[in-house]
Amino acid sequence: METKGKRKLFLVSGLMQNYSTVFAGGVMVTNSNFVVRSSVVSRNVAQQAGAGIKVVGGIAQIFSSQINDNMAKDYGAAFDITTQGILSSVKTIVYVNNSEISNNWATHRGAAFLLDALDEFEVSNSIMRNNSGTKYSAIPVLYILSFEHQWAGYFDDSMFHVASKGGAVWCGAENRANFENVLVEANKAMEGGGFFVEYPCKIKIKESFLSRNKASKRGAGIASSEGSEIWLDRSELIGNGRQDCVTGDTPEVPQ
């Protein structure tokens, strides 16, 4: 499904078991306003990115919903937030409140959120849990099987590995992404089990908990590249992997 043009679309039930050969298995928001309320966006598949919700210049507002069990071959399984082409001048605004983003899988970056370009972004009062990756490229086969079996329960652990960067969130956008009162739990990646923050991204994490995230290389809770900025405000990293937080360059935290 694609929302296009200056219009407003509401989803108040569910968007499930859809498939795209490229982007946006569930929905693509293009220069429009998409509102999800008390809904489920689940078991959607994209061969490249944005299996659940892809925003390409526009507004997406998610309230009291579940975004889970979506699969992208490359990145941004639950959310792929970006701008491109003639839409580069259109504001990209995303708000997620009182929602759960869980069990989403991507092989490369950001199984829950891929933040490539944004103007305003905030996740609040929400949970990001058990987002990671899968090594299989035969997405159509997995998609057909998923109709009859829940992905997390049907395949054994030997068939999966973690996303390379950002089990929950990968951010490379220039404007600041805000996370407030969020539980980031049991996400997995090679680097940045919870968050991977790539220059020039700026992230603020306020009154949140990062717990039991894992990374096989570095930054079980948070990893970042040189020049990126991370603010932790009254937040805690508890019981993550061997290295809770590894940064390339740590900026001075503003008072």
> In angstroms, rounded to a whole number, what is the distance separating the alpha carbons of residues 26 and 77?
10
In a domain? residue 251: no
- The pTM for the full model equals 0.81
Task: Verify cis geometry, omega within 30 degrees of 0, for the bond prior to 200.
Answer: yes
Most confident range (mean pLDDT) of 17-26, 73-82, 84-93, 224-233 is 224-233
Q: How many domains does the chain have?
A: 1
pLDDT number for residue 57: 83
Residue 98 has pLDDT above 70, yes or no: yes
Inside any domain, residue 215:
yes
SS3 153: helix
Higher pLDDT among residues 22 and 130, named by residue: 130
C-alpha 164/C-alpha 110 separation (Å) is: 9
In a domain, 39, yes or no: yes
Residue 86 lies in a domain: yes
Quick check: is 253 in a domain? no
pLDDT tens per residue across span 159-174 = 344 568 899 999 999 9
Kindly write down the DSSP assignment for every residue of 104-152, as one continuous string.
-EESSB-SSEEESS-SEEEEEEEEEES-B------HHHHHHHHTTS-HH
pLDDT digits 0-9 by tens, 190-235: 899 999 999 999 999 999 999 999 998 888 999 999 899 999 999 9
Residue 90 pLDDT grade (very low, low, confident, very high; cuts 50, 70, 90): confident
Instruction: Look up residue 199 and give its DSSP letter.
Output: T
Q: Which residues contact 108 (CB under 8 A, 6 or more apart)?
A: 74, 75, 133, 163, 164, 165
Distance CA 187, CA 168 (A): 6
206, two tokens: 């306020």
Q: Has residue 5 got a pLDDT over 90?
A: no
What is the number of helices (H) and of strands (E) in the chain?
2, 30
How confident is the model over 7-65, as pLDDT tens digits? 555 554 555 555 454 455 568 888 888 899 999 998 888 866 778 898 988 899 999 99
What does the pLDDT read at residue 241?
A: 77
Q: Give whole-number Cα distances, 15 to 180, 203, 240, 241, in Å.
A: 26, 29, 33, 34
254 is a domain residue? no
147 occurs within a structural domain: yes
Range of the domain at 232: 2-246
Tokens of 17: 């078991």
116 in any annotated domain: yes
